[in-house]
Amino acid sequence: MKDVGEELAERLRKLNWNKDYRQLIRDAFNDEEVREFIRKNKAELSQEDIAKSASKVYEFVSIKNKIKRGEETLAPGYDPQLIINNHLIDVTYVPSETLLLHKKQQAIYNRVRSINMPKDIRDAELADYELEGRELAAQAAGSFIDEYTSAPKKFHRALYLQGSFGVGKTYLLGAIANGLAEEGFTSTLLHFPSFAVEMKNSIGSNGTMKMVDEVKRTPVLMLDDIGADQLSSWLRDDILGVILQYRMQEELPTFFSSNLDMVKLEKQYLTTNNRGEAEPLKAKRIMERIRFLAEEYTIVGRNRRQFKK
Ligand code: ADP
Ligand code: MG
């Protein structure tokens, strides 16, 4: 069989096409992928059809080479592909693997809603979690993901991560949220002290209750750094209490992280309000809900923050 490029060049010569253009077309027809495509589809393509498809073949090869050289194309993220369309060769554009991966990753990120959380938890992964001093917590985190994934409608007790500043509590919450997101589940991570300030600042507005409503209904909720601020009775009973009551009733997974263990959380944080009044019974009620929702794990280790800027 005569070389396709040669034959085409001959036809174009007859048509008196510009010499440079003829060379470009000939190069395009010499592209390995193009030759393979023509070989595969030769039953459907006459020489005439092939000649008529020259500009499409040229488009295919020039875009492909542009992508190879890392240059920007008109449709970034899409790769050209040869197809047969109405007996002619045509080019279609399909999402590249990089684009598909990027979209998948974006979908995972979008399943984790972070409110006032540090940015570095975005890429936290259980697989990267250094185990020393947190074997039990890491193991419980892994089991939670497995069990929740296999039966998301059932109640699963979540984790209450307790430990001193910088040991990796927040990071572990982020890793759990990301692990769940990979399985298709949505969580909300909330820095509780900042949330409390926002609530106080918006007392009485429609936004407050809407926000509380959204938070309490999220499939998986993580309250980060609970116990780090001072609570008013209103925040304890009408915000935190309402959220936890709903989650307990609906059996929705709820995680906590705190510098305080459960006993201290009850005695120091929940019992005495910001005016110094002791309300032990109210504290007990909140604590019962927390204990129902989560099991306590102590994380020990060095403060990882001091090694960063
Ligand atoms: P905590 O919430 O207990 O105060 P963080 O989770 O914020 O601590 O962790 C402190 C710092 O150490 C953060 O910058 C975090 O990204 C990092 N970090 C924590 N645990 C790990 C880990 N297992 N592997 C890598 N980095 C970690
Ligand atoms: Mg933290």
Could you report the per-residue pLDDT of 204-217, keeping only the tens digit for each? 777 788 889 999 99
- Note the pLDDT tens digit of each residue in 50-92: 999 999 999 999 999 999 999 988 888 999 999 999 889 999 9
Query: What's the CA gap between 299 and 134, in Å, rounded?
Result: 5
Query: What's the CA gap between 51 and 26, in Å, rounded?
Result: 11
63 in any annotated domain: yes
* The two structure tokens encoding residue 158: 């979540």
DSSP 34-72: HHHHHHHTTTT--HHHHHHTHHHHHHHHHHHHHHHTT--
Looking at the CA of residue 171, tell me the nearest atom of ligand 1: 6
Task: Check whether residue 71 and residue 123 sit in a common domain.
Answer: no
Task: Check whether residue 81 and residue 147 sit in a common domain.
Answer: no
Number of independent structural domains in the chain = 2
| pTM, full prediction | 0.78
* The two structure tokens encoding residue 174: 């982020």
Which range marks the domain in which residue 128 is found?
A: 102-298
Average pLDDT score, the chain: 89
Looking at the CA of residue 130, tell me the nearest atom of ligand 1: 23
- Note the pLDDT tens digit of each residue in 243-285: 999 999 999 999 999 999 999 999 999 998 888 888 999 999 9
Closest residue by CA, ligand 1 atom 22: 129
Nearest-ligand number for the alpha carbon of 191: 2
Q: Give the end of a domain, one of 76, 95, 114.
A: 95
112 CA distance to ligand 2 centroid (A)?
Answer: 17
Q: Give the end of a domain, one of 95, 120, 138.
A: 95
The pLDDT, as a whole number, for residue 13 is 62
The pLDDT, as a whole number, for residue 68 is 92
Average pLDDT over residues 83-102: 92
Query: What's the CA gap between 33 and 16, in Å, rounded?
Result: 27
The pLDDT, as a whole number, for residue 1 is 47
Q: Is 132 in the pocket of ligand 1 (CB under 6 A)?
A: no
| Percent of the chain topping pLDDT 70 | 93
